[in-house]
Chain A
Amino acid sequence: MKNTFDGVKIGLEIHCQLTSLNTKMFCNCSSNYRGKEPNTILCPVCTGLPGSLPVLNKRALEAAIKIGLALNCKISNFCNFFRKNYFYPDSPKNYQITQYDKAGGVAIASKGHIETTLGNVHITRIQMEEDPGKLQYEGSITASTNTLIDYNRAGISLVEIVTEPDIVSPKHAREFLNTIQSIVETIGECDSTLDGSMRADANVSISGGQRVEIKNISSFKEVERALNFEITRQKTIQTAKKMETRHWDDTRRVTVTLRVKEDEEGYRYFPDPDLPPLNISNEFIHDIGTKLPELPEQRYNRFISDIGLPKEIAHILTKDKLIADYFENSLQYNNYPKLLGSWIANDILGYLNRNKLDSTALKIAPEKLSQLAKAVSDSQINELTGKSILIQSLTSNQDIDVLLASEVGKSVDNEQLLKIIDDIFLRNPQAVTDAKTDPNAIHFLIGKVMKETKGHADHVISKELIEKKLSE
């Protein structure tokens, strides 16, 4: 459902940490900084000690190229590193090593795009850069007399994804971010479950107004909230009159002024003399491309064309890699894609969503689900029963095997069914007469059978047997 405000333009800058790397971007310090005591992973390079020099981690380049390819970008055959000069306590050198797209600067990738249900979003560029350290306050940022600085994160490899202002609503932003998340997870370069591994800044304007940047949004959920707030705020004041940077306060759920936005020129970008440029051959790019796993969009297409799933089911299943994997796993045991696809997309995910659980909470083994599907397909139980067993297993954690065994016993075989049908025909002569002339009246008889068997008869077989008897 499109939720557009007039003239709303949103652009996003997404920072993804390359969590798959062992070391930081420009030094051999371990990149595994979470949960560590502050200032325990340091070297002269990431703390910017005088005389230290950066050297690029080769795996960072490969990861950045993978991400670029996955986002349909053109990978540059030449790129370089620039210094973004600004003073800030979390930045040990008081400049950040990054990439730029002017003044001779070339970023690793550009001109990509991502399709979403709410519209296509163009990727302006993808650049490699280093993360700064972390600031902590004693209390709130305004009240704190001291700032505490931890440089463990300084130098961690980042890839920044910059979009055109193609995003039309906060909901669209959320969908886009989830899509990006799914893609980088699939290719394995960024584990978004790790705290702070994916962050986004947003730029938003409404028709005719100035662009406002919102920083410090802690999670993707908050992005939608922050954008909703900011759009409302801009509409209240008519439109933003000046370019500025605002800070999202997720406790009070408001954006607050940080500073009037610096122009780019304040950063005095120039090529970093310590880092030679990169010449990237098409062979190198192609090689990396061949190592890419199947992307969500490709999987979606395959689920429709090769497996034959309906679009909506395919879309739901491929949104989460774990769920898509689970689905394909279950097919390995017994190949009933339509039934399994429907159960997973509707019943299982429905259950998880209602109970605010994520896909890791799914305890049913794919093999068991598959067996259940087989039982239905073999008419050991009917579909209704199958579904009910599934729901029971989800809610009560009972084993499917056990539930299946008890239900199978209750199913009705054809001999029993014929006896029941004969009995119903005897006791409902008028209905039988009606059914002989009006095909729709057969449902009354089928209903009787189902009632008699307490729902355990197979609907299709019952209908066939009744039709056969009617024609006799």
Chain B
Amino acid sequence: MSNLISQFEDIKEKNNSINAYITFSDLPEKQLITDGKLSGKTIAIKDTISTLGLRTTCASKMLETYVPPFDAHVVTLLKKHGAMILGKTNCDEFAMGSSTEHSAFGPTHNPHDLERVPGGSSGGSAAAVAGNLADLALGSDTGGSIRCPASFCGIVGLKPTYGLISRYGLIAYGNSLEQIGPMAKTVYDCALLLECISEYDDRDATCIQTKNPEYTQHLDDDIGDLKIAVPKEFFGNGTDRVVEQTVWDTIKKLESEGAIIEEISIESIKYSLPAYYIIAMSEASSNLARFDGLRYGLHSEKSNDWNELFSKNRKLGFGFEVKRRIMLGTFALSSGYFDEYYVKAQHVRSLIASNFKRVFNKFDVVISPTMPTLPFKIGEKITDPLSMYMSDVDTVSANLAGIPSLSVPCGSSNSLPIGIQLMSNHFNEQTILNLGNKIEQFRGMVK
């Protein structure tokens, strides 16, 4: 235990340069559960996930002093399995972003290159794992927010099937799209964490009751004659050559191991980004309405009436990106535009979902790069919102379709990590975990 305490001090020290954490916990006197699945493991939790008694800010001034009176379901499960929670990690404010630069607590730095972004929005969680500031981490993924930072930081990150993990306690951004998911250095650890947090919760009406598979027990690397589809739309114009090359190298290696590879086309993927943003922003505009300073969060003292008070608190509490998305979402839901934007986006979503369904009738896995580029420099895309939104081009489809998606490291360029994205049909996490396991072996990471 004293070992852990000195380690903890080292972590806090190292965090100064990476800025992965917003809040550190007080470590308990002794570990309560010593024979749990996660006993002996340290874990960092994204600051959009509620922790009882431990400040939860969503990286926003709005919640700078907010301390939840309850644990998210996943946090209860972590404690049940004996994990040691080290603290709450930095992210883009209210999970809105792809670089962890939109934080009221400063950007997080990529451990592989401190001048570059770690990805977002769960950048703090990814950097904590990659920078050895925690064994494991939890993130949340609305449009790629686990996979993007996993790819940029060279670790493993999974967005589970929508409905597998309880969202009770996850501070909502795009509630029809998002899931909490595991982040770790290896596929095995990812699978272990997934096992622990996927217990059914009746407090979340969108949580689906499934048999709780023991992912680690069935983790193997026999890919047999796995049928893999590679949609060309994921290798669009904005994709770096080196990313394309590295991902294809991995695909070729899989083919040599017996997998059956086929290039296909899913045309609707071209429309996934606008559909995603319209839906996510619309939901966000409603989900964030509760932040008016009256019951919790930032509140100013003086105002003439409630109208003025709300508008002032929200002006002071929210960062610019959050304001932008709320306004766009409000617009998309408003009269005269609702059909053209929100309804249309939902129709396109249904189209994408059914296209994927059809693909999975024939194929076991769909593969693509996780991110179209290498990790970019801090400040590079911050002034051009559209350019930032475009970096989600490969990840959002999985959220729209509700399918599970895993990002595993598959190479690097000048020490900058590149991730490969593996998607499968609903509740088929085992398939992509196994495939990810195989890819790990290519890189000499044996478990």
Asked if chains A and B are in direct contact (CB within 8 A), the reply is yes
State the A residues within 8 Å of B (CB): 44, 47-56, 83, 85, 87-89, 92-95, 103-104, 147, 149, 263-266, 268, 270, 273-276
Contacts of B310 in A (CB 8 A): 87
Show 9 A/B contacts (Cβ-Cβ < 8 Å), sorted by A.
Answer: A53-B206, A55-B205, A85-B333, A89-B294, A92-B290, A92-B295, A265-B336, A270-B338, A273-B283
Q: How far is the CB of B138 from chain A (nearest CB, A)?
A: 13
Contact count band on B? 35 or more
Are A53 and B289 within 8 A (Cβ)? no
| Interface 9-residue window, one of B170-178, B391-399, B433-441 | B170-178
Chain B 177-204 interface mask (CB, 8 Å, partner A; 1/0): 0000000000000000000000000111
Taking a contact as CB atoms closer than 8 A, the residue among B171, B204, B290, B335 that contacts A265 in the complex is B335
- A54→B205 contact, CB < 8 A: yes
In the assembled complex, how far is the CB of residue A49 from the closest CB belonging to chain B, in whole angstroms?
7
A270 touching B282 in the complex, CB below 8 Å, given contacts A49-B68, A51-B169, A85-B333: yes
Chain B residue at smallest Cβ distance from A102: B338
Using Cβ atoms and an 8 Å threshold, which residues of chain A touch B168? 51-53
Contacts of A104 in B (CB 8 A): 343
Complex Cα–Cα for A94 and B247 (A) = 46
**How near does chain A come to B83, taking the closest CB pair, in angstroms?**
19
Let me know if A268 and B290 touch, CB within 8 A: no
Asked if B63 lies at the interface with its beta carbon under 8 angstroms from chain A, I say: yes
Asked if B286 and A83 sit within 8 Å, CB to CB, the answer is: yes
The answer, among B50, B170, B295, B338, for a CB contact under 8 Å with A47, is B295
Q: How far is the CA of A19 from the CA of B312 in the complex (A)?
A: 38
Residue from the list B171, B282, B283, B295 in contact with A51, Cβ < 8 A: B171
Besides A51-B68, A51-B72, A276-B206, 11 more A-B contacts (Cβ < 8 Å) are A48-B295, A49-B70, A51-B170, A51-B171, A87-B289, A87-B307, A264-B335, A265-B335, A268-B334, A270-B282, A270-B338
- A214 to B170 CA separation, bound complex (whole angstroms): 40
Partner of B50 from the list A50, A93, A103, A149 (CB cut-off 8 Å) is: A50
Hey, which chain A residues are within 8 Å of B282, CB to CB?
270
User: What's the Cα separation between A266 and B338 when bound, in Å?
Assistant: 11
Report if B268 contacts A (CB, 8 A): no
Q: Which 7 A-B pairs rank lowest in CB-CB distance, beginning with the nearest?
A: A265-B335, A273-B176, A94-B289, A268-B333, A50-B171, A51-B169, A51-B50
Taking a contact as CB atoms under 8 Å apart, the answer to whether B63 and A274 are in contact is no
The 8 Å CB contact of A274, one of B202, B206, B330, is B206
Decide yes or no whether B277 CB sits under 8 A from chain A. Answer: no
Q: Does B342 contact A (CB under 8 A)?
A: yes
A-B contact count (CB 8 A): 100
* B330 interface neighbour in A44, A55, A268, Cβ under 8 Å: A268
Tell me which residues across on chain B come within 8 A of A266, comparing CB atoms: 334-335
A50 interface neighbour in B204, B285, B290, Cβ under 8 Å: B290
Interface set of B (CB-CB < 8 Å, partner A): 49-50, 56, 58, 63, 66, 68-70, 72, 167-172, 175-176, 202-206, 282-283, 285-286, 289-292, 294-296, 306-307, 310, 330, 333-336, 338, 342-343
For A85, the closest partner residue in chain B by CB is B286
* Contact partners of A147 in chain B: CB under 8 A: 306
Interface pair B334/A273, CB less than 8 Å apart:
no
Q: Tell me the bound Cα distance from A299 to B50 in angstroms.
A: 55
Contact: B170 with A274, CB < 8 Å? no
Q: How far is the CA of A316 from the CA of B50 in the complex (A)?
A: 59
Given the interface pairs A51-B172, A273-B176, the reply to whether A95 lies near B334 with Cβ below 8 Å is no
Question: In the complex, what distance in Å separates the CA atom of A227 from the CA atom of B333?
Answer: 35
With A89-B306, A92-B295 in contact, is A53–B290 under 8 Å at CB? no
A280 → chain B, closest Cβ, in Å? 16
Q: Is the CB of A270 within 8 A of B170?
A: no
Contact residue among B63, B170, B206 (Cβ-Cβ distance under 8 Å from A273): B206
Which B residues are in CB contact (< 8 Å) with A265?
334-336, 338
The CA-CA distance from A56 to B172 in the complex, in Å, is 19
Distance (whole angstroms) from the CB of B291 to the closest CB of chain A: 8
Q: Are A85 and B336 in contact (CB under 8 A)?
A: no
The interface residues of chain B lying within 8 Å CB-to-CB of A275 are: 205
Chain B residue contacts of A48, Cβ below 8 A: 290, 295
Contact A93-B289, Cβ < 8 Å, known A53-B167, A55-B202, A103-B343:
yes
A247 to B394, CA, bound (A): 53
How close is B343's CB to chain A, nearest CB, in angstroms? 7
Closest to B205 in A: A55
When the two chains form their complex, are residues A270 and B286 in contact, meaning their CB atoms are under 8 A apart? yes
Q: Please indicate the chain A residues that have their CB under 8 angstroms from the CB of B335 in the complex.
A: 263-266, 268
A53 contact set on B, CB distance < 8 A: 167-168, 203-206
Q: What's the nearest-Cβ distance from chain A to residue B223, in Å?
A: 35
List the A side residues contacting B70 at CB < 8 Å: 44, 49, 51
Chain A residue nearest in CB terms to B168: A53
A87 touching B292 in the complex, CB below 8 Å, given contacts A50-B171, A268-B338, A274-B175 = yes
Q: How far is the CB of A227 from chain B (nearest CB, A)?
A: 30
